[in-house]
Amino acid sequence: MRKVFSYLKAYRVAIGAALFLTLLELGVELLQPLIMAKIIDDGILKSDLSVVKFWGIVMFSLALAAFAAGIANSFFSAHVSQNYGFDIRRLVFEKVQSFSFVNFNKFPASSLITRMTNDVTQLQNTVFMSLRIMLRAPLLLAGGVIMSLIVNWKLAMVLVVALPFLLVFLKWVLNTAGSMFRDVQDKLDGVNRVMRENLMGMRLIKAFLRRDFEKDRFEQASVDLKVRTVSSLRLIEVSIPVLLFVMNIAILFILWFGSRQVNFGTIEVGEVVAIVNYSFRISSVLTIISFIIMAFSRAKASAQRIGEVLDTEVDLIEAAGADRSLLLKQGAVEFKDVSFSYPESDVPVLKNLSFSVKSGETLAILGSTGSGKTSLFQLVPRLYDVTAGEVLVDGKNVNEYPIETLRKGIGVVPQEAVLFTGSISENIGWGKEGASQNEIISAAKDAQIHETVEKLPNQYDTRVGQRGVNLSGGQKQRLSIARALVRKPKILMLDDSTSALDLKTEAKLLKALRTYSCTTFIITQKISTAMEADRILLLDDGAVEAWGTHEELLKNSPLYVRIVQSQFGEEDFQHVKGFKQTSST
Ligand SMILES: Nc1ncnc2c1ncn2[C@@H]1O[C@H](COP(=O)(O)OP(=O)(O)OP(=O)(O)O)[C@@H](O)[C@H]1O
């Protein structure tokens, strides 16, 4: 938490200015009752109008100065709080960008969004409030007591006795409210999670008629948030009457003692008025302090949550000795006895895989669902690290490459096409920083999406709706492929990315890919696609069932033969066998 607040150091000058102006305002506020006492005792009670006039003008001038100081303070406070919020949001965003998937598992997306938005706003508001009033309130409290002691120490002892009780009580409220607001922020994560899932799955919810079910789910999350918020606020609300009750009793004492002393002639009326005035100011300050406590408790919880993100150790890091000069030149890939299990599970997903793909070759990966195809993909660009064995690119372990170099040379097309809000052009160009329009169009042509884009109302400037809502599945897939092609990767990895394409379009795409000097991995379920590859890797339950050319697999792998038969039927199977044998001779 301390670390989160330490980023305020960058604004120490503006903070200093804001605090100085607060002190100015505070000084005026503390002087006012004294001047008032002077006007009453030396002016009104002695019927001396010149004293009333003089001190009246002084009081007015001071009020003007305090007004100007207040405005300037607001300016500095807003400057510091907004910039600080901006910095924290950027830091959290950058940190999240560096997260590995293991880190992501610790923080659900909805929670990260709340931390980057609501939690940062809480901090921002608290910093603003601190610079405006948080310092002023305790100082006014202490100043009020000191000034009362100066006016008449005997009478002011009432305040000296009452205040320690109040301060202990306030500390208890602060600690208790802190943990309660932590719960509130966690419940807010819950509401965001349900909301996010609903917005993303709206089509499914409508198609499955699950509106009422989702409504109940949302209501439950909302009720949880409301209950927690109400109980936290209630604590603060209850604290205000307690504070005021104690202070009112203290004021009654002051009036009772004061009036007796006035009768005995040991104290001036103005002095009693001044101390009562200070007491009322202290009462109002205590109310403000309750609200400050609320803000601070919330900020404390938010700072903890932001601190958790910033302090997270990114476990997938560049090796200390990564060779910065290393370049990914050929794109040859070799798996050497690779085993892998996801970090939070002991179940091996890939078992002792060994195979290699020469530069420029195409490898098709086949296997039943859950056999580990996507997991295998993730090891090449180091989205995960192997548990055992080695993944080599151009003969070097992937760990030896700077992560940026490695990933720059790889074009990944994920199973589910991910598009961003923006134009078609921007979505394709996203794959390569500074891609020219010609490069974008050329990639689109090879990905077989150019003709489709040309028919759109604004061609390449057509906006892609949220997550590509205005595009078909096949169009989204081809845009994703274009995005990977535009970076002219040395290794291209297509994760079942042609599943929504018709056979003719797919054939054209595969032909275009041959013109790229890159090593290509294609996860596919279709034998017709696999047959186009130089080699095929057949995975079964995370292990290599077979690896080789189509013909070799037909000879050596009964499982491959069964898959071919199931997709082509016995008659066409003979044809497929013959066709491939003929074409290879
Ligand atoms: N993030 C994860 N954490 C833990 N286990 C996972 C994770 N992702 C996948 N798995 C498990 O790893 C195994 C292999 O999954 P993977 O996605 O690699 O299979 P796949 O062959 O690509 O499947 P499909 O063809 O259905 O896409 C599965 O049993 C799956 O449950």
539 CA closest ligand 1 atom index: 21
Whose Cα sits closest to atom 5 in ligand 1? 342
Rounded to the nearest whole angstrom, what is the distance from the C-alpha of residue 84 to the centroid of ligand 1?
41
Is the distance from CB of 26 to CB of 144 less than 8 angstroms?
no
Rounded to the nearest whole angstrom, what is the distance from the C-alpha of residue 367 to the centroid of ligand 1?
12
Q: Enumerate the domain spans of the chain.
A: 2-308, 333-394+416-548
Segment-wise mean pLDDT, segments of 10 residues, the chain, 585 residues: 81 90 84 84 84 88 89 91 93 87 78 88 88 76 84 84 84 82 86 85 78 89 91 82 85 88 84 86 81 80 88 72 74 91 86 90 89 90 90 89 86 83 88 87 88 85 73 83 89 84 79 84 86 88 88 85 77 57 41
Q: What's domain 333-394+416-548's architecture?
A: 3-Layer(aba) Sandwich (3.40)
- Pocket flag, ligand 1, residue 374 (CB < 6 Å): yes
- Pocket flag, ligand 1, residue 248 (CB < 6 Å): no
- Pocket flag, ligand 1, residue 416 (CB < 6 Å): no
End-to-end CA separation in angstroms for the chain: 70
- Pocket flag, ligand 1, residue 347 (CB < 6 Å): no
394 backbone φψ class: left, alpha, beta (φ>0; ψ -120 to 50):
left
- Pocket flag, ligand 1, residue 430 (CB < 6 Å): no
pLDDT of residue 4: 82
542 CA closest ligand 1 atom index: 14
Is the distance from CB of 463 to CB of 423 less than 8 angstroms?
yes
Rounded to the nearest whole angstrom, what is the distance from the C-alpha of residue 114 to the centroid of ligand 1?
28
- Pocket flag, ligand 1, residue 351 (CB < 6 Å): no
Give percent helix, percent strand, percent coil of the chain, each to the nearest 5: 70, 10, 20
- Pocket flag, ligand 1, residue 345 (CB < 6 Å): yes
Distance, CA of 299 to CA of 77 (rounded, Å):
16
Distance, CA of 158 to CA of 248 (rounded, Å):
11
How are beta strands 519-523 and 362-367 bridged, if at all?
parallel
Mapped onto helix, strand or coil, the DSSP state of residue 348 is coil
Phi, psi values for residue 544, rounded to 5°: -75, 115
pLDDT of residue 333: 92
pLDDT of residue 467: 65
Rounded to the nearest whole angstrom, what is the distance from the C-alpha of residue 406 to the centroid of ligand 1?
23
Whose Cα sits closest to atom 17 in ligand 1? 374
Count other C-beta atoms under 10 Å from residue 116's C-beta: 19
pLDDT of residue 585: 35
Whose Cα sits closest to atom 30 in ligand 1? 370
Cα-based torsion angle of the residue sequence 138, 140, 144, 147 in order, rounded to the nearest 10 degrees: 120
Helix axes 136-151, 269-310, angle to 10 degrees: 160
Question: Whole-structure pTM over 0.80, yes or no?
Answer: no
Is the distance from CB of 416 to CB of 409 less than 8 angstroms?
no
Whose Cα sits closest to atom 14 in ligand 1? 372
Instruction: Fill in the amino acid letter for 117.
Output: T
Mapped onto helix, strand or coil, the DSSP state of residue 457 is coil
pLDDT of residue 226: 92
In terms of Cβ atoms closer than 10 Å to its own Cβ (0-12, 13-18, 19+), residue 522 is: buried
Distance, CA of 233 to CA of 443 (rounded, Å):
57
Distance, CA of 105 to CA of 490 (rounded, Å):
30
pLDDT of residue 471: 73
- Pocket flag, ligand 1, residue 375 (CB < 6 Å): yes
Is the distance from CB of 566 to CB of 541 less than 8 angstroms?
no
Instruction: Fill in the amino acid letter for 428.
Output: I
375 CA closest ligand 1 atom index: 18
Count other C-beta atoms under 10 Å from residue 233's C-beta: 15
pLDDT of residue 460: 86
* Best of 106, 341, 342, 350 for a ligand 1 pocket test (most atoms within 8 Å of beta carbon): 342
Distance, CA of 35 to CA of 319 (rounded, Å):
70
One fold for 2-308 and 333-394+416-548:
no
Rounded to the nearest whole angstrom, what is the distance from the C-alpha of residue 416 to the centroid of ligand 1?
14
pLDDT of residue 583: 42
pLDDT of residue 365: 92
Rounded to the nearest whole angstrom, what is the distance from the C-alpha of residue 167 to the centroid of ligand 1?
57
| Model ipTM value | 0.95
Distance, CA of 511 to CA of 225 (rounded, Å):
56
- Pocket flag, ligand 1, residue 346 (CB < 6 Å): no
Mapped onto helix, strand or coil, the DSSP state of residue 333 is strand
Q: Closest Cα partner for 123 from 437, 114, 540?
A: 114
pLDDT of residue 584: 40
Rounded to the nearest whole angstrom, what is the distance from the C-alpha of residue 219 to the centroid of ligand 1?
33
> What CATH superfamily is the domain 2-308?
ABC transporter type 1, transmembrane domain (1.20.1560.10)
